[in-house]
Structure 1
Amino acid sequence: MTVDVHLAAGQERSLADDVHDGLTRPFKELPPKHFYDAHGSELFDLICEQPEYYPTRTELRILRTRGAELMEGVDELVELGSGATTKARILLEAGQAARYIPVDVSETVVRAAADELADLDVDVHGVVGDIERHLDRLPAPSGRRAVAFLGGTIGNFPPGSRRRFLRLIGSLLAPGDRLLLGTDLVKDPAIIEAAYNDAAGVTAEFNRNVLAVVNRELGGDFDLGAFEHVAFFDRRREWVEMRLRALEPQVVTIGALGLEVDFAHREELRTEISAKFTSERIAADLAAAGLTLRKLATDPRGWFAVTVAERA
């Protein structure tokens, strides 16, 4: 296995910049990528097991039933924000790809990929980096490439940023290459909201964990118990917003930044948006990024989609 590391001190700098920028805005927010420290990743795996959380199960069903079709003619699989290798294994077993390139901010996750896929005849070339900053560091392609960005993570980007990121992915594709894009689809708002408000409270703990990351990495003194989890579906924008609501007026200190942050009673801090898509929106976003929709694979209920796109 080969591993290229492109983070080191840059990761901490990114967190510091994001926290300073986000907590000094009139409407406070933090980017969702900072949920995923070791504990946050464990919590997200647990979220995926909750009965209310349909996206992961539904996407896996699509990959299992349509994997051979999605991977036809592909020589190497690049997975952005790879995490666990569950989805990669399904795709690699369904096709003939000889190389797998997991890209993740966690070196532990990237190195584990080789062990988890050791029974497959696949070369693993891992990249430890931020998918928004280090995609130009990927190894040169070894044949026809499929770039997978799954899990509905594209929905965490606001519309303008989403199209810029899709354009960046498009720059990785040569003629004959493809993008495999996982998108959660618009459906009954009650089904969507339940997925982000599980009865066991796992998503609430996951949401508050971003405050623990700030405390640990930047010397913050957030009281996690002083914030409650809020998640709702914005019907006009067709996205979920996750927020943390202050239960009382308070002042939070971020020691490493020399920053004091005031929270009013019931003031909210946005931690995630998760856009839901229609086929028309997917096609429009792809077209704006110079990509063409070739195939839309969905489950029987039409709750989730895995899209195949190519450079226009």
Structure 2
Amino acid sequence: MSPLRVTRTLPEDATDAALRADVQHGLTATPKTLPPKWFYDARGSELFEEITGLPEYYPTRAEREILADRAAEIAAATHARTLVELGSGSSEKTRYLIDALTGLDTYIPVDVSESALTQAGEALVADRPELAVHAVIADFTGRMTLPQAPQPRLVAFLGGTLGNLLPAERAAFLAAVRSLLAPGDALLLGTDLVKDEKVLVRAYDDEAGVTAEFNKNVLAVVNRELGADFEPGAFEHVAVWDTENEWIEMRLRSLAAQTVKVPALGLAVDFAAGEELRTEVSAKFRKEGVAAELTAAGLELTHWWTDAQDRFALSLSMAR
């Protein structure tokens, strides 16, 4: 059995420093913002898993459907010997690719969470003893380096997470991914598609209120880590469709005028009644837009697959 290897490229204190910087910048900006990556502490991850099973939230099911139906085609198109997954989490959906890639030698999951990497990696090593698993603790939105591994390589970025990046951030991210690839390597990208506004809003504002609790969890994270005194009950969850930018925005709306203190940063933040704090952008895509962004990064779109209801897409692009 190949042992699980773990490499840390993220400094031990990087998460704390990044949180401090994001909260300092976001709560003093106009309008106020917090990045969505801070949803995902242990409780936030549990809530998101619950969200993926809700009837309103289709992206996870739609992407899994495509992977189940098309994994063999992806394998045939790439002949990948190394699979790299960015933001791997539990690596659950990736099993379809691992099973289909008959010549696979190495799997490289990349995530900021050491515990998630270790848990998923150990399970894979137990199930696939012939597979080399080399986990990398890193932030995929920062500078990335990958361990040496056989080519060709397939980099997978699933779940529609690309949509959480603003356009300039997406361009920088795709360019960074391209810099990791050699000619013949490929990128498998998950993107949620533009569709009826009511369907989109329901996916981010479910009837059971799970997404509302998930959204407010970012306040609990800031309270715990930075000693802030956010009162989650003093904010309401809001999800709106921005027609011009073609993205969903999740926000937290202050129910009354209030001042929130963040002692670790020496901040006192005033909220007006009705003022909104943006916590997530989730862009939705069209094929021509995805192709253009890939081309700008030096990648060529070669395959485009959607689920049966055309809700979600997986695209395969090759390094030129």
TM range (shorter): over 0.9
| Counterpart pick for 2:142 among 130, 133, 148 | 133
Give 1:12's aligned amino acid: D
| Counterpart pick for 2:183 among 175, 178, 197 | 175
Equivalence for 1:226: 234
Equivalence for 2:99: 93
2:251 is the counterpart of 1:251: no
Q: Please list the CA deviations of residues 68-117 of structure 1 after superposition, one character each: whole Å capped at 9, or x if unmatched.
A: 11123010111111111211111101112121111111100010122221
Determine if contact 2:83/2:108 at 8 Å carries over to the other structure. Answer: yes
Q: SS in structure 2 opposite 1:199?
A: coil
Equivalence for 2:212: 204
2:87 is the counterpart of 1:81: yes
Equivalence for 1:105: 112
Determine if contact 2:106/2:149 at 8 Å carries over to the other structure. Answer: no
Equivalence for 1:147: 155
Give 2:131's aligned amino acid: V
Q: SS in structure 2 opposite 1:67?
A: helix
Give 1:168's aligned amino acid: A
Equivalence for 2:7: 4
Measured in 1, the distance between the counterparts of 2:137 and 2:224 equals 22
Equivalence for 2:131: 122
Measured in 1, the distance between the counterparts of 2:185 and 2:302 equals 12
| Counterpart pick for 1:62 among 59, 66, 73 | 66
2:298 is the counterpart of 1:295: no
Determine if contact 2:143/2:176 at 8 Å carries over to the other structure. Answer: no
The structure 1 segments of at least 4 consecutive aligned residues displaced by more than 4 Å after TM superposition are: none
Structure 2: which 5+ residue stretches go unaligned? none
Measured in 2, the distance between the counterparts of 1:284 and 1:7 equals 35
Determine if contact 1:7/1:128 at 8 Å carries over to the other structure. Answer: no
Q: Please list the CA deviations of residues 255-291 of structure 1 after superposition, one character each: whole Å capped at 9, or x if unmatched.
A: 1111110000010000000000000110111111111
Measured in 1, the distance between the counterparts of 2:196 and 2:211 equals 20
| Counterpart pick for 2:247 among 239, 247, 257 | 239
Give the TM-score of the pair, scaled to structure 2. Answer: 0.95
Measured in 1, the distance between the counterparts of 2:254 and 2:275 equals 5
Please report how far the alpha carbon of residue 134 of structure 1 lies from its aligned counterpart in structure 2 after TM superposition: 4.1
Work out the number of aligned pairs and report it.
311
Measured in 2, the distance between the counterparts of 1:210 and 1:233 equals 21
Measured in 2, the distance between the counterparts of 1:265 and 1:104 equals 38
Give 1:83's aligned amino acid: G
Please report how far the alpha carbon of residue 304 of structure 1 lies from its aligned counterpart in structure 2 after TM superposition: 0.5
Moved more, 73-82 or 94-103: 94-103
Equivalence for 1:160: 168
Q: SS in structure 1 opposite 2:180?
A: coil
- Residues 39 and 134 of structure 1: is their aligned pair in 2 closer, same or farther, counting only changes over 3 Å? farther
Measured in 2, the distance between the counterparts of 1:185 and 1:56 equals 13
Measured in 2, the distance between the counterparts of 1:122 and 1:266 equals 53
Structure 1: which 5+ residue stretches go unaligned? none
